[in-house]
């Protein structure tokens, strides 16, 4: 899969792309079918919401499940990443972020680079986020909020917040968020299951808590150029993987073998 010149320009201008329904309902269902077992595992890579006890994010999935080992190499994700970055990339992080109905908690305003730089020693903001919506995401169930063009306005001051939620995060100064929102507005990344979101490492983003009766799950793959790899190993591997093997795309139909086989109807 290759992005068009217009899509590349939109990504460069705004810092993000929303690509409607790039994965089929059957592919999304195959991905979703693996989650109950993974969420039930007694693993430190499953981060639990502080108040509800629900899974907030399940990490390191390509090392825990064969479908995700294929998904992080899917050409509809990796080929655009190669096109954008024009160099070999490794799997820096992969996870499913969940906002359970009624109880999914906030993700504060942040840029991913702040955490990658402060915690992992990543030198430059070159990593790329590649997301797949696993549920229908609306205004009501905790969509990602993007601040367009915020990736182009230099460094954003950040501080470590390990109190608001169960996941420690380097969050952005709210005066900076206000300035960026007043300059360029906000976009809510909504869409049908299978929609792909691509965004840069320095794009300001966050998401509200989920008060709705509908779950919201998003698969998240972060790839980083091998030339820009982490220089420290403070965080566990499931938060920033040490394997710098360049990712090569697999076949486009790689998820087909995980789909349920239809049962033939009797005559």
pLDDT in tens, 15-32: 999 999 999 999 999 999
pLDDT in tens, 217-239: 999 999 999 999 999 999 999 99
Has residue 267 got a pLDDT over 70?
no
Residue 138 has which token pair? 């609306």
In a domain, 231, yes or no: yes
In a domain, 69, yes or no: yes
In a domain, 51, yes or no: yes
Mean pLDDT score of the chain? 94
Could you give the number of structural domains in the chain?
1
Q: Which of 71, 92, 76, 115 is nearest to 226 (CA)?
A: 92
In a domain, 129, yes or no: yes
In a domain, 44, yes or no: yes
- pLDDT value at position 264? 55
pLDDT category at 51 given cuts 50, 70, 90 is confident
Has residue 112 got a pLDDT over 60?
yes
pLDDT in tens, 55-70: 999 999 999 999 999 9
What is the Cα Rg of the chain in Å? 18
In a domain, 228, yes or no: yes
> How many Å apart are CA 161 and CA 166, to the nearest integer?
10
Structural domain span for residue 36: 5-258
In a domain, 265, yes or no: no
Instruction: Summarize the confidence of residues 191-200 as an average pLDDT.
Output: 98
CATH number of the domain enclosing 93: 2.60.120.620
- pLDDT value at position 180? 94
Handedness of CA 79, 81, 87, 91 (dihedral sign): negative
Has residue 72 got a pLDDT over 90?
yes
- pLDDT value at position 135? 97
Report the SS3 class of residue 66: helix
């Amino acid at each position: 899969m290759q992005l068009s010149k217009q899509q590349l320009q939109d990504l460069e201008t705004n810092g993000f792309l929303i690509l409607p329904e790039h994965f089929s309902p059957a592919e999304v269902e195959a991905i979703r079918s693996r989650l109950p077992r993974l969420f039930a595992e007694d693993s430190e890579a499953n981060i639990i919401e502080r108040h509800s006890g629900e899974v907030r994010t399940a990490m390191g999935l390509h090392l825990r499940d064969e479908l995700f080992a294929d998904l992080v190499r899917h050409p509809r994700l990796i080929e655009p990443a190669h096109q954008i970055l024009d160099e070999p990339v490794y799997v820096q992080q992969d996870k499913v972020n969940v906002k359970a109905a009624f109880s999914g908690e906030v993700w504060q305003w942040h840029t991913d680079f702040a955490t990658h730089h402060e915690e992992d020693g990543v030198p430059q903001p070159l990593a790329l986020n590649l997301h797949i919506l696993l549920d229908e995401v609306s205004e009501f169930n905790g969509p990602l909020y993007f601040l367009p063009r915020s990736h182009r306005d230099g460094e954003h001051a950040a501080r470590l917040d390990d109190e608001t939620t169960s996941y420690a995060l380097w969050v952005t100064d709210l005066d900076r968020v206000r300035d960026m929102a007043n300059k360029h507005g906000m976009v809510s990344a909504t869409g049908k299951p299978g929609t792909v979101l691509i965004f840069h490492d320095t794009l300001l983003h966050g998401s509200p808590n989920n008060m709705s009766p509908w779950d919201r799950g998003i698969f998240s793959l972060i790839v980083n150029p091998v030339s820009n790899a982490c220089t420290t190993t403070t965080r566990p591997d499931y938060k920033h993987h040490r394997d710098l093997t360049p990712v090569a795309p697999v076949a486009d139909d790689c998820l087909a073998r995980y789909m349920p086989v239809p049962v033939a109807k009797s005559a």
